[in-house]
Amino acid sequence: MLACFRDDVALVSPDGTRVVGLDAARARYTQEFESMPDARCDLQVANGHAGYGVAESVFRATVDGHAVEAVGAEVMEFVDGRISEIRDYHQMRSDA
């Protein structure tokens, strides 16, 4: 997955937290996958044009023994064929 990112990639969480750089992205994903080893995103739709892409998905995982589910989209910007920024707009479902 990290091979898709530029060295200066920026990841922006739904709360606005911003992580910049490939090493920071690696650390973030490592922590997330270690804390939620069963995490998955079920892709609903994806499209892109002129350096931008969007992917709507349903995120599912188990956290502290409880199932969690979030629905939303990621908006991506591409530079030279690699992801330069991902803005995540997932929100937790209250009925999950």
Q: What is the CATH number of the domain that holds 37?
A: 3.10.450.50
Q: Evaluate if residue 95 carries a pLDDT over 80.
A: no
The mean of the pLDDT values for the chain is 94
The residue among 64, 13, 71, 82 whose CA lies nearest residue 41 is 71
Residue 93's pLDDT band, with cuts at 50, 70 and 90, is: confident
Handedness of CA 90, 92, 95, 96 (dihedral sign): positive
pTM (2 d.p.): 0.88
Tally of domains in the chain: 1
Altogether, the residues listed in the chain come to a count of 96
pLDDT digits (tens, 9 = 90+) for 22-54: 999 999 999 999 999 999 999 999 999 999 999
Residue span of the structural domain in which 16 resides: 2-92
